[in-house]
Structure 1
Amino acid sequence: MPARSDERRARQSAREPGGASGVGRTPRSESEGKPNLMGDAFDDNYETFKALLDTFPPSEAVKRLEQFGIEQEVVQRIRERHEQDTIRIKELEEPHAVVLGNRDTWYTGPQAKDKCWPGIVEQLLKDGWSQSPAIDDLADSSTRIVSLLNHPKEKSFSTRGLVVGYVQSGKTTNFTSVMAKAADRGYKLFIVLAGIHNGLRRQTQARLVQQLVEQNPAMWSQLTGLDKDFTPQENPASYFGKNNKTHVLCVVKKNAAVLRKLARWLEKASAHLEGCPALIIDDEADQATVATKSINPLILRIMSSLPKCAYVGYTASPFANLLIDPSADNLYPKDFVVNLPKPKGHFGTEVLFGRYALDGEDPEQVDDGHDMIRSIPKDDVPCVRPEKKADVEGFEPFITDTLRDAVEYFWLATAARRVRGAGNQHNTMLIHTSVNTSVHNSFKRPLQHLRDTAARSIEDADYLARLRDLWDEESARVPAEDFGEKKVAFDQLIHELPGVLRGCRVIMDNSSSEDRLDYENGPVVAIAVGGNTLSRGLTLEGLSVSYFVRAVSAYDTLLQMGRWFGFRNGYADLPRIWMTDELAEWFRHLATVETEMRRDINIYMTEDETPLTFAVRLRTHPSLRVTAAAKMRDAITAASSYGGKRVQTHYFHTNADWLRVNNDAARELVAKSVAFATRADERPADGRYVFHEVPHSHVLEFLSSYKFHEKSPENDADLIVGYIRKRVSSAGSLQRWNVAVVGNPRGEGFTFGHGVTVGRNTRARLSVTNPVADFADIKTLMSRRDAGVDLAGDVADLTDDGIMELRRSEFPSTGLLVLYPIDKLSEPTPAKKLRAPLNAEEHVIGVGLVFPKPANEDSTVEKYISANLGNVTIEDEDFSLVDSEEA
């Protein structure tokens, strides 16, 4: 990242004799000539070193430091800090991006004359942001994005980019910073498309006014207000004429009538727009923008009236945006995709729900998530949500035990936050069971009755004992100390509870109600019941408890409804989410999809790819769509190969009949392996047997007999068998397999027969309050080391890449199949707080497969969808147009 202006001034000063850094002057005393290892003296000397780097290579810069009389120990620390800073810049402090062409050169960071960006920094510091890392990271990421825009003095341009953030992660502050830096460089018109609801538009307008307009009021003209969406203004020349030097701000809903008025007004102003660089920020860019018959054409119409226009979409759920047809006149992010780094302290999908290991990861290093998810039994769902449309009219919810626990825990958590007296002053609970407004409204009376009853019972010994049990159980399951917070005892918070109950409001926030969450008029304690108005973009301040049973069908809908994501400063130990186990599994899958998608973007950045030459793959799920069907009409099924990957089972049925089939299949494979292997590596003391070069026909027989759980799309036996057959027939690969048995040397024995007995492994299931009958998710089966169980020598210290590289050298065309006998009880260790006993009816056989990566991969399995790049035309290096499939 280029140096900021203050750093450049420091370096310039360092080059001048007698400058502030002290270069070129003689110390007046011995103590003055010996810089401390820490403090201002060290910082000055470090700035001196950075200044020298503008002229000299690092080795010469070090020599010159020594000539200045700086001690060797200090010089060494300076070198170490420089190396750390260099690594920091190269790694994650800049957001990772996929860029079209060499677009990242014109903007190098803020300058001394800037007004808008320094105003934002000043405001953020007042709001309690730290300079490092919070503001510094924001500065880095927003600079990166602005550098991908066109220079405002270019004659004409039409840029289209996408910024991928996290739900409730500060995307608004990021695009406000991008707008500020673009304004400081000469962009004039700023149009923010702020979702589809008035609440989000108003919230966005307020934020932009606070951080941009109020800091430099003379520099801004506004086309919209807090309570006023766009209405046509008279005399466009007064906004865009050469005599008006102000920046123009317009914050509008993605509403057809509003956008149509804006488009007409801009078309009337066309004579004044040629010299008007415009930046369109599309907040929640996957909502209403993609594949809509009204909004999408209107956005394109607005862009067509602006000769110099940059469109940047912001979203945490970019699935629809990445599936747009790139060859059409549309909003596919053809110029860049930026992946924002996750801010420190952010609660995201992976943090709360855990995820599954991606290929190449050590499953033991992938976290299970925090113990903050509470299970709602399936039998409770009809009590809080109508089962069918015919039941909506006249529906009355029942306060179930889990809903009562959630509400009472919310009151206790609010009281505990008052004891702490720190962090966000607001306290909110979200109840989201249905999209239907009449269902929302039906909750008001029973929730108010629950609150009033609690207020009357606050002196009742039995009631207090139940509250104490609830609080003690929850605070024990999630220790405050794990999050740097201090535990609040029940006897402390009980004194705050009456005030919490008196101040608690029950709010129906939906399109038909007059109630709205208002955080601008003092501290709020509210139980908010709602649907779509609470499910995207809008921040629920101080959200600590969520009760969620809303049925959804697509990734983006599910992710955006997770209003519990975000920052929980001062109460990171207190959030809880009540939901069904099925929903929790969907979120865990979604966390895996998110991580894999972001990894794709980051990898492509280093492989000389652009958004028009690669298509981000999105892993599919048997029960969920990636996005709405209309938004996927241009998507294609992407080919994903098993080559070079590990496949492992982590879902199992627990009934004896199903498990015995797998036990029989495993014993049959071991018998064939003993009979037909060219050699055997037997290490019973280590719980390891490896049979080399078993004919692939026996592996295929096993895969045809072994039962994979139907919920695991990556464990599709037909796809795996088809892949192996294709590799065997087309490339002569995978004709031979190494078959391994891996057990626990300390476990009770499991006998495969033919002299093969190993100890049973322990694989506890993920813990849920109400486990589904006949189902277990163990999440992790193979260790990194097991992927090299058939390799010569010890692979314990090798990385995943190291093991796969060694496999490529030693077994370039041989597959590995590993059998794991798993104890049917499998009690978890005390450290595994989110695990429960497996409790299967029979011992379980887990299977891991490791496929060699061929030189020319053409055998694929279909597990993903992606944008179709087949119709895209790109320019090759001699600038002749060619079809992208041939390029």
Structure 2
Amino acid sequence: MTDEFDGMYDTFKALLDSFPPSEAVKRLEQFGISPDVVAGIRERHEQQTIRIKELEEPHAVVLGNRDTWYTGPHAKDKCWPAIVDLLRKDGWPQEPAVSSLDDSSTRVVSLLNHPKEKAFSTRGLVVGYVQSGKTTNFTSVMAKAADRGYKLFIVLAGIHNGLRRQTQARLVQQLVEPNPTMWSQLTGLDKDFTPQENPASYFGKSNKTHVLCVVKKNATVLRKLAQWLEKASNYLEDCPALIIDDEADQATVATKSINPLILSIMSSLPKSAYVGYTASPFANLLIDPSAADLYPKDFVVNLPKPAGHFGTEVLFGRYALDGEDPEQVDDGYDMIRSIPVDDVLCVRPETRADVEGFEPVITDTLRAAVEYFWLVTAARRIRGIGNPHSTMLIHTSVNTAVHNSFARPLTHLRDKAAQSLTDPGFLSRLRGLWDQETERVPAEDFGEKGVTFDQLVSELPGVLESCRIIMDNSSSEDRLDYENGPVVAIAVGGNTLSRGLTLEGLSVSYFVRSVSAYDTLLQMGRWFGFRNGYADLPRIWMTDELAGWFRHLATVETEMRRDIDIYMTEDENPLTFAVRLRTHPALRVTAAAKMRDAVTAAASYGGKRVQTHYFHTNAEWLRGNIGAARTLIAASVANAVRVEARPDEGRYVFRDVPHEFVTGFLSEYRFHERSPENDADLIIEYIKRRIATAGSLGRWNVAIVGNPKGGEFIFAPGVAVGRNNRARLVLNNPDPDFVDIKTLMSRRDAAVDLAGDTTKLAEKAIMDRRGAQLPDTGLLVIYPIDKLSEPGPEKKLRAPLNAEEHVIGVGLVFPEPQGADSTVDKYISADLSNVRIEEEDYSLLDGEDA
């Protein structure tokens, strides 16, 4: 609409608010305004009224598998569009980069509480990849939350000044500067939090600005903030607050000083949402869920892997998971170079006693890594694209004295190389190194243009002249600074370079640092990230043992992310389903203090209940599953040791059916592709492995659960039950060939083959009884579902199933591994046994008595 129309609307808005619609229209027409313009003003006013009502009255829609109030940006938003403009200026393409960021940040905001709710205390976790743009994601989440009415934004930006300053600068650039009148700041670029005199000036009703506070996770700083917020409590009742915890596994979990202070800050805020961001969430997933702590009880989500990102699996490969063909699992790029064990003591003192007087030896592998770095920098200058900085990381120890000891030998190596550029022997060695590396990893495989050694020679003098040797640690004054022109640097460091801080243009790493835990190891990998314009050139020198650890870690990450995806695709949440973390014989998952509440989790599917929630509605797909179910029941009738028929209850149990019929059924039955937990190949492989290693799951109980009041469904001669009623969820973007019924299997059904009264048993008690009665027997339950399945009148977010054919649902219950069986893949997880959740009685969906 034109500026003139906007001005007219603003002029007459009061009139529209003051009179009934018909009277307001008459008065507008009296001003001589044409009917078309009047209609436009009325339409604009109605849209604005609806929008304001939506903000004031929280409502829910279904997004994925969750109810939400937020489904995406509005046209009138200010903060999010400003970020989009900045990203486009930086060269971000709309597809897939900006769209993916939009989708992933919308997902996170949709899991927060509506800012108009009277009170809330949300705890969530967002899992990204190392150096993958987590800061951009949480900045986008903050922008969208601000556009919807969140007021106070506290960002816990790691434990080092460098990361806090870097984060403050990013947030000011992307949030504050595009809309300066909308923001107030409690911290500055070089100023951490200091108490302000007048809280009313920030939180009083007269101040409509958003408030930004970026602080280190430092006890002194957080204590000042906690005390100031407590004094400001009179102004915080209507102050929706979003707390972003960057690097949420660092200092937040199980610390005697930082953890209580974060909780204290949250206690001062009647409306607070805490969202942790990390690429190594192992500690966060092991917090005691029943304690008043920061376990992500409300949500855990994965950020999508960005296109072109170098991650653990890409570089190191991983091991095949259950059900995967090892031949189909990528081994990673050929970019890892081996450091012999004998070289380690040349670059790192063996004990603390050896630190004093230590000076590293420039071994053949270290020399090759440094010389290759100079060649890479020259090649990138020739290409002239991508990041203007070029960095090499040497990480052998956390000790600052060891870092400093590298200065003299590296400086000598650089100066000698500069003097040798006319030496045919030196140039021959460099040519051999370059030719060998470019042959092993051809530039063309990454869409890059190859560079010959002869092209590099003219660039090498300038590279060596500009190359700085920097000791970047907590005691050094000469630090990495990418804000004052292109940098070429060999950086030697430890913890200050190991987390959060981006090493711009990192192309070569020399890494022998020994670690003891997954999260520490993963965060040391500063080589993860984006390599635009030089994707073929990165190399990492490390020991074979470390490379094996990273390969194991890539496997852990893949399994962990698969578990997390269950939250968004299955009827689970962090208080009903604990993410499992595969263990390693030589590495802890995280620090011992952070694992004190962890418990041994089931091996793979052991001790789990698996059920189908998603279905296609087309007849061909459904008929295939009906055929598979009838084949299974016919085989069960013929091969079961005992049949228990309870047609009045709509139940049959076929006991001790050989496993071949179950795996045969799973091979024929088609699970919906959106459900990662229901992978037939994985389940079949797991059953076979349990049989081979411990002899369990060789026999199965096959059950049919129907509704006695439903229309008849015949499985086999003499075997028929009434059809169940399962209405579909109302989805925001409905697909006629997709239905989500959310819940198939009741707790009662999971105990259908157990002896005794199980009606009042909790989930864990049912599994305990199964372990006592049927420790080696699996349970497979078949559900015939009526193709119409009308919802009850009280089910407002449900619609008729309306499938083209009747639907077959499947539930599987696996006994806990015991004895020799427990050696199959060990995992740990959070202990959910003390969590109390009121469970709905889903039997009421079928009209059964409660």
Query: TM-score of the superposition, structure 1-length normalised?
Result: 0.66
Native 8 Å contact 1:430 1:543 kept in 2:
yes
Q: Which range is displaced more, 170-179 or 489-498?
A: 489-498
Distance change in 2, residues 1:814/1:594 (3 Å): closer
Residue 133 of structure 1: how far off its partner (Å): 0.5
Distance change in 2, residues 1:812/1:311 (3 Å): closer
In structure 1, the residue matched to 2:82 is: 119
1:245 lines up with 2:202 in the alignment: no
In structure 1, the residue matched to 2:493 is: 530
In structure 1, the residue matched to 2:599 is: 636
Distance 2:149 2:566 in 1: 33
Alignment of 1:312-711 (within 5 A): 312-640=275-603
Native 8 Å contact 2:286 2:595 kept in 1:
yes
1:872 lines up with 2:829 in the alignment: no
Residue 493 of structure 1: how far off its partner (Å): 1.3
Residue 873 of structure 1: how far off its partner (Å): 1.2
Alignment of 1:108-147 (within 5 A): 108-147=71-110
Q: Secondary structure of 1:506's match?
A: strand
Q: Deviations over 1:9-50 (max 9, x none)?
A: xxxxxxxxxxxxxxxxxxxxxxxxxxxxxxxxxxxxxxxxxx
Distance change in 2, residues 1:113/1:382 (3 Å): same
Distance 2:457 2:582 in 1: 47
Distance 1:387 1:98 in 2: 52
Alignment of 1:806-825 (within 5 A): none
Residue 324 of structure 1: how far off its partner (Å): 0.2
Distance 2:271 2:606 in 1: 46
Query: TM-score of the superposition, structure 2-length normalised?
Result: 0.68
Residue 605 of structure 1: how far off its partner (Å): 3.0
Native 8 Å contact 2:301 2:567 kept in 1:
no
Residue 103 of structure 1: how far off its partner (Å): 3.9
Among all aligned residue pairs of Structure 1 and Structure 2, give the percentage whose two residues are the same amino acid: 81
Q: Deviations over 1:441-498 (max 9, x none)?
A: 0001100000000001011111011101000000110000010000011111111110
Native 8 Å contact 1:636 1:867 kept in 2:
yes
In structure 2, the residue matched to 1:857 is: 814
Native 8 Å contact 1:812 1:854 kept in 2:
no
Distance change in 2, residues 1:344/1:641 (3 Å): closer
Alignment of 1:187-206 (within 5 A): 187-206=150-169
List runs of 5+ in structure 2 lacking aligned partners: 1-61, 609-654, 669-675, 695-775, 781-812, 843-849
Q: Which range is displaced more, 581-590 or 595-604?
A: 595-604
Q: Secondary structure of 2:430's match?
A: helix
Alignment of 1:59-70 (within 5 A): none
Letter in 1 for 2:166: Q
Distance 2:192 2:371 in 1: 40
Distance 1:229 1:305 in 2: 20
Distance 1:223 1:369 in 2: 45
Q: Deviations over 1:590-642 (max 9, x none)?
A: 00000000011113433201100010000000000000000000001112157
Q: Secondary structure of 1:875's match?
A: coil
Native 8 Å contact 2:407 2:469 kept in 1:
yes
Distance 2:64 2:590 in 1: 23
Residue 361 of structure 1: how far off its partner (Å): 1.4
Residue 314 of structure 1: how far off its partner (Å): 0.2
1:304 lines up with 2:267 in the alignment: yes
Distance 1:448 1:733 in 2: 73
Distance change in 2, residues 1:225/1:640 (3 Å): same
Distance 1:155 1:144 in 2: 23
In structure 1, the residue matched to 2:179 is: 216
1:294 lines up with 2:251 in the alignment: no
Native 8 Å contact 1:644 1:853 kept in 2:
no
Distance 2:539 2:551 in 1: 16
Q: Secondary structure of 2:602's match?
A: strand
Letter in 1 for 2:141: V
Distance 1:270 1:808 in 2: 55
1:228 lines up with 2:191 in the alignment: yes
Figure out how many residues of one structure are paired with residues of the other and give that number: 606
Letter in 1 for 2:115: P
Residue 219 of structure 1: how far off its partner (Å): 0.9
Residue 853 of structure 1: how far off its partner (Å): 6.3
Letter in 2 for 1:264: Q
Distance 2:133 2:359 in 1: 37
Distance 1:557 1:585 in 2: 15
Q: Secondary structure of 1:192's match?
A: strand
Distance change in 2, residues 1:302/1:812 (3 Å): closer
Distance 1:877 1:801 in 2: 27
Letter in 2 for 1:857: F
Q: Deviations over 1:511-556 (max 9, x none)?
A: 0111110000000000000000000000000000000000000000
Distance 1:329 1:356 in 2: 37
List runs of 5+ in structure 1 lacking aligned partners: 1-95, 646-730, 738-786, 793-798, 818-850, 880-886
Q: Secondary structure of 1:161's match?
A: strand
Distance change in 2, residues 1:808/1:558 (3 Å): closer
Q: CA RMSD in A?
A: 2.8
Distance 1:111 1:317 in 2: 33
Distance 2:331 2:222 in 1: 45
Residue 808 of structure 1: how far off its partner (Å): 11
Residue 803 of structure 1: how far off its partner (Å): 6.0
Residue 643 of structure 1: how far off its partner (Å): 6.6
Letter in 1 for 2:251: A
Native 8 Å contact 1:97 1:338 kept in 2:
no
Distance 1:853 1:454 in 2: 68
Q: Secondary structure of 1:407's match?
A: helix
Native 8 Å contact 1:98 1:337 kept in 2:
no
Distance 1:324 1:594 in 2: 18
Residue 389 of structure 1: how far off its partner (Å): 1.1
Distance 2:778 2:384 in 1: 57
Native 8 Å contact 1:736 1:814 kept in 2:
no
Distance 2:685 2:261 in 1: 54
Distance 2:94 2:563 in 1: 31
Letter in 1 for 2:536: D
Letter in 1 for 2:399: N
Native 8 Å contact 1:812 1:853 kept in 2:
no
Letter in 2 for 1:215: P
Residue 392 of structure 1: how far off its partner (Å): 0.9
1:175 lines up with 2:132 in the alignment: no
